[in-house]
């Protein structure tokens, strides 16, 4: 008789030490990190859910609501947490569904100091409120991770097609963005002061997801963000097989490859007036196509806007009253 084959059991991960607490493998723990003392005398904290898998693997972070009025990401992160089973997870997820707690409570993009948190990274321990929160996220979350995903929406009354924004020249990030497989993959250079910049300074790959508009949920966008994130976790070998609570007929989330835009630009209003788009979000356009009409209330001044190039509408203003210089349509040019 031949020798009986022995099947080695998967290694068990050691405890994950975070903010003075050992999280055991296969467990999830929510931890509140103090941010600022309130006038009431109580503390406002940054809520973090630490999902520590039973098996070894990378540590990644997922975050949302860096801008307090951008809500789709909150639901995306919540659904990821519902889907993940720490008993079968390989690695650790640091989930921060609401980074800008102040902004969410006030239904505002900004912090109480009127600063944009996503222009305040990596922040300062002794700086403004925005700088302190940026410093906390950078040191407590980003620096503990080997990869990150952050979820945003359009701002200023604009809506975006579901898209991932990266520097297309960064090969490591591009491979994960292609695995995410959002409808659009848009080239975007890193902007100083952003969370992307803070991650880049530490050579940490990072995907920025944009989709929908501020102040509301969009089920199509939420589903695209959740499924894309799960595809990335599967690519990183953190998730295998059926997620927790899935139906017997569950199939791994998949979709067609992303449409890649190697450049993008805004079409702006030459005059103030009433904005009436002639195209839809996600629509492919050709040079010279009618994009929109801007007219006054008496229909005396009419400005027909035509496309200056071939491309696809990746973002659009959702409000009708505009002023000269307002950004109306965001156009992506398709990579050849």
Query: Which tokens go with 35?
Result: 């941010």
Q: pLDDT tens digits, residue range 88-123?
A: 999 999 999 999 999 999 999 999 999 999 999 999
Tell me, what's the pLDDT at 172? 85
Higher pLDDT residue, 270 or 244?
Answer: 270
Query: Which residues, other chains included, contact 153 with Cβ-Cβ below 8 Å and sequence gap of 6+?
Result: 67, 70, 71, 72, 73, 159, 160, 210, 211, 212, 213, 214, 221
Helices (H), 181-295: 195-201, 219-235
pLDDT band for position 336 (50/70/90)? confident
Query: Which residues, other chains included, contact 298 with Cβ-Cβ below 8 Å and sequence gap of 6+?
Result: none
Task: Give me the mean pLDDT over the 303-312 stretch.
Answer: 96
Query: Which tokens go with 6?
Result: 């022995």
Tell me the DSSP string of 248-263.
Answer: TT------PPPEEEEE
Q: Report how far residue 127's alpha carbon sits from residue 121's, in angstroms, rounded to the nearest whole number.
A: 11
| Helix, strand, coil % in the chain, rounded to nearest 5 | 20, 35, 45
Options 2.40.50.100, 3.10.129.10, 3.40.50.720, 3.40.50.10470; CATH of 261-334: 2.40.50.100
Query: 16-257 with 261-334: one CATH topology?
Result: no
Is 256:180 a contact under the CB 8 Å cutoff? Answer: no
Tell me, what's the pLDDT at 249? 43
pLDDT band for position 251 (50/70/90)? very low
Count of alpha carbons within 13 angstroms of residue 336, beta-carbon side:
1
Radius of gyration of the chain (CA): 22
Tell me, what's the pLDDT at 11? 86
Tell me, what's the pLDDT at 256? 82
Task: Give me the mean pLDDT over the 274-293 stretch.
Answer: 97
Domain boundaries defined on the chain: 16-257, 261-334
Tell me, what's the pLDDT at 178? 95
Q: pLDDT tens digits, residue range 121-134?
A: 999 999 999 999 99
pLDDT band for position 240 (50/70/90)? confident
Q: For the chain, give the percent of residues with pLDDT over 90.
A: 88
Q: pLDDT tens digits, residue range 184-236?
A: 999 999 999 999 999 999 999 999 999 999 999 999 999 999 999 999 999 99
Helix (H) or strand (E) holding 80: helix 72-83
Is residue 248 pLDDT above 60, yes or no?
A: no
Is residue 242 pLDDT above 80, yes or no?
A: no
Tell me, what's the pLDDT at 247? 47
> Domain 16-257, what architecture?
3-Layer(aba) Sandwich (3.40)
């Amino acid at each position: 008789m031949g020798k009986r084959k022995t099947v080695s059991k998967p290694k068990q991960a050691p405890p994950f030490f975070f903010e003075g607490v050992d999280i055991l493998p296969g467990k999830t723990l929510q931890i509140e990190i103090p941010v600022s003392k309130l006038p009431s005398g109580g503390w406002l904290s940054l809520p973090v859910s630490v999902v520590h898998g039973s098996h070894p693997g990378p540590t990644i972070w997922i975050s949302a609501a860096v801008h307090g009025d951008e809500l789709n990401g909150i639901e995306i992160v919540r659904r990821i947490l519902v889907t993940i089973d720490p008993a079968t997870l390989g690695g650790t997820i640091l989930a921060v569904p609401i980074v800008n707690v102040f902004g969410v409570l006030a239904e505002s993009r900004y912090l109480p100091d009127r600063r944009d948190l996503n222009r305040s990274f990596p922040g300062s321990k002794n700086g403004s409120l925005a700088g302190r929160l940026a410093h906390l996220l950078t040191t407590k979350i980003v620096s503990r991770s080997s990869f990150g995903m952050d979820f945003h929406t359009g701002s200023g009354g604009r809506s975006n097609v579901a898209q991932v924004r990266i520097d297309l020249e960064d090969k490591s990030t591009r491979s994960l963005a292609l695995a995410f497989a959002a409808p659009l993959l848009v080239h975007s250079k890193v902007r100083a002061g952003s969370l992307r910049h803070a991650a880049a300074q530490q050579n940490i790959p990072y995907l920025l997801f944009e989709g929908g508009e501020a102040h509301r949920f969009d089920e199509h966008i939420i589903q695209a963000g959740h499924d894309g994130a799960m595809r990335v976790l599967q690519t990183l070998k953190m998730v295998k097989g059926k997620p927790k609570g899935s139906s017997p007929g569950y199939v791994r989330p998949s979709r067609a490859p992303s449409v890649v835009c190697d450049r993008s630009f805004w079409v702006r209003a030459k005059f103030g007036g009433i904005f009436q788009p002639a195209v839809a979000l996600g629509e492919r356009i050709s040079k010279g196509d009618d994009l929109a009409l801007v007219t006054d209330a008496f229909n005396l001044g009419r400005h027909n806007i035509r496309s200056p190039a071939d491309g696809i509408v990746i973002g659009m203003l959702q409000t009708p009253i505009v002023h000269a210089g307002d950004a109306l349509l965001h156009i992506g040019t398709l990579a050849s």
